[in-house]
Amino acid sequence: MNPVNKTDQNKMEVNTVGLKRNNTIAVFGQGYVGLPLALSFAMKGFKVFGVDINQALIKELKQGKTKHLESYQGKSIQEILQEELDSGRYIPVDDYRQALTQAGIIVVTVGAPIKDDGEVNNSPLKAVAREIGQSLKKDDLVLVRSTVVPGTTERVIQPILESESGLVSGEDFDLAYSSERIAEGKAFLEFSEMPTLVAGVTDSGRKRASELLASLFGDGGEIVVSPSIEAVELSKVLENLSRDINIGMVNEFAGLCEELDLDIHHIIDLANTHKRVNLLRPGPGVGGFCIPNAYYYLLPRAREAGLDLDLSSSAREINDYRPRRVVERLKERLQEQGKSLDQCKIAILGLAMKDYSSDHRQSPALDIVELLLHQGGEVNCYDPEVSSGLIAGQVNDLWKCVQGASAVIFLTRQEEFDNLDFGQLKGKMLANPHSPLLLDPKKALSREEATKEGIQYVIL
């Protein structure tokens, strides 16, 4: 055993039983998974290189800046980042060779995005595998933590690593896979407490990866070992897909409840009193990099097997349709007031893909904005946590956003919106004989407070 000594009284000693060569880590990808993971290792005493090809991102990280909304044990991620920079344990770099020369442990968090045609784009993963392979050393551990098409680690990444390095997995270096299971906003906590699934090409890789990841645990946490990397890869996809199907089901029920003039959220509250029922919530769609992509990660293997994924496909279609349903519902309500969309200004509040997030990747809000603009609407949109200038019609002030609007569509919670002044909201919106509209697909706001101020409140 060769533990890393405590660097100060708040740092835990790292248990590195079974970790070969050295304990320096290179984490490839410094996004919503990679950055908190790298900082988690640093907080446990490891020296960590945070590697990313985005030079602007690396420059910001070196300055202690990040737009992530994470916290842990009373500290914001910005505070944690600055502490680990000052300690020298966390080193952000865009030069992968610098990191790989010193690191004996390589962790990959780079994603596999989905193309517009639904095909999985493995190019970023392949590029990282080539870079790692070119500098791979004997006794290194490579741990993949990306969500991938089941089979990718052994069928795509392993051959590249071996071809580029001339080394053999399981003999000269270790290769393992562990699915990433965090929710944005809870990353630090879930790295330390969420049960962690691990598999390796060999027992050596599985053991080293298990001991590495166990070092992140506090009082809780559990390593669950599988003999199959592909099984762990598939389990991750199914975890995400189960949520997509659950949301698709309640989104379908929401349409029925609209026709029956019933509140779907109240019905879900009733159903969830059953101890074996856990219905999720309907909304304007499903965003982010995980849940909407799960079906597409599974589809290639289903095609190889000659199978259809009818249920998964239907859920995806239902959830993809939800932004269009929001716009249709808005147009119906405007028509009831004798207005058309192309005569109105519409304000969008909340652009992130989920509540209390800065991540706008694949956010339903982006689809809603695009649909409104395409149909001739004037659109202002605002989210205090999503960088300005990224989205058409984006403004940097809440009240500027809603000024003169005939309708507000509320899509994502943020702290600034938590105590929304409905009187001021109505005062800023367009004054006319009709009540201004507030569409709230998630039922995140108070119907009672909105209607008390003379706002017409609509769930969907």
Beta bridge partners of 346: 379, 407
Helix and strand tally (H, E) in the chain?
17, 15
Q: What's CA 292's distance to the chain center, in Å?
A: 10
Q: Which two tokens stand for residue 147?
A: 């969500």
What DSSP letter does each residue of 57-112 carry, written as one string? HHHHHHTT------EETTEEHHHHHHHHHHHTSEEEES-HHHHHHH-SEEEE----
CB 64 within 8 A of CB 98: no
pLDDT, mean of residues 312-322: 97
Q: Residue range 310-332: average pLDDT?
A: 96
Mean pLDDT over the full length of the chain: 92
Identify which of 345, 429, 415 has the alpha carbon closest to the alpha carbon of residue 380: 345
Rounded mean pLDDT, 390-395 = 89
**Pair 99, 135: CB distance under 8 Å:** no
- DSSP H helical ranges for 201-263: 203-214, 229-260
Specify the pTM: 0.91
Q: 126, 46 in Cβ contact below 8 A?
A: no
Segment 293-320 shows an average pLDDT of 96
Residue 233 is predicted with a pLDDT of 98
Q: Does residue 2 carry a pLDDT above 90? A: no
Closest CA to 330 of 319, 343, 340: 340
Cβ neighbours of 307 (radius 10 Å): 11
% of the chain surpassing 90 pLDDT: 89
Residue 230, pLDDT above cutoff 50: yes
- Cβ atoms of 70 and 34 within 8 Å: the answer is no
* In contact, 16 and 2? CB cutoff 8 Å: yes
Q: How many residues are listed for the chain in this entry?
A: 460
Determine the pLDDT at residue 8. 34
User: What distance in Å separates the CA atoms of residue 136 and residue 18, rounded to the nearest whole number?
Assistant: 19
**Cα-Cα-Cα-Cα dihedral sign, residues 1, 161, 26, 219:** negative
Under 8 Å between Cβ of 346 and 405: yes
Write the CB contacts of 324 (distance below 8 Å, at least 6 apart in sequence).
Answer: 367, 371
Q: CB of 324 within 8 A of CB of 173?
A: no
**pLDDT value at residue 21:** 53
In 3D space, the residue among 198, 226, 202 whose CA is nearest the CA of residue 212 turns out to be 198
Asked whether residue 16 carries a pLDDT value surpassing 50, the answer given is no
Residue 392: CB atoms within 10 A of its CB come to 12
Average pLDDT of span 453-459 = 93
CA–CA distance, 146 with 143 (Å, rounded to integer): 9
Question: How many other CB atoms are there within 10 angstroms of residue 94's CB atom?
Answer: 17
pLDDT tens for each residue of 73-93: 999 999 999 999 999 999 999
Residue of 318, 316, 426, 327 lying closest to 367 (CA atoms): 327
Q: What is the pLDDT of residue 12?
A: 33
Among 126, 159, 157, 131, residue whose Cα is nearest residue 144 = 157
- What are the structural domains, with CATH classification, of the chain? 25-227 (3.40.50.720), 228-460 (3.40.50.720)
Of 346, 321, 323, the C-alpha closest to 334 is 346
Spatial CA neighbour of 45 closest among 88, 89, 104: 89
Kindly state the tokens that stand for 196.
């962690």
Contact criterion met (CB below 8 Å) for 401 and 382: yes
Task: Report the DSSP pairing between strands 456-458 and 48-51.
Answer: unpaired
Which residue, among 260, 251, 364, 237, has the nearest Cα to 315 in the 3D structure? 251
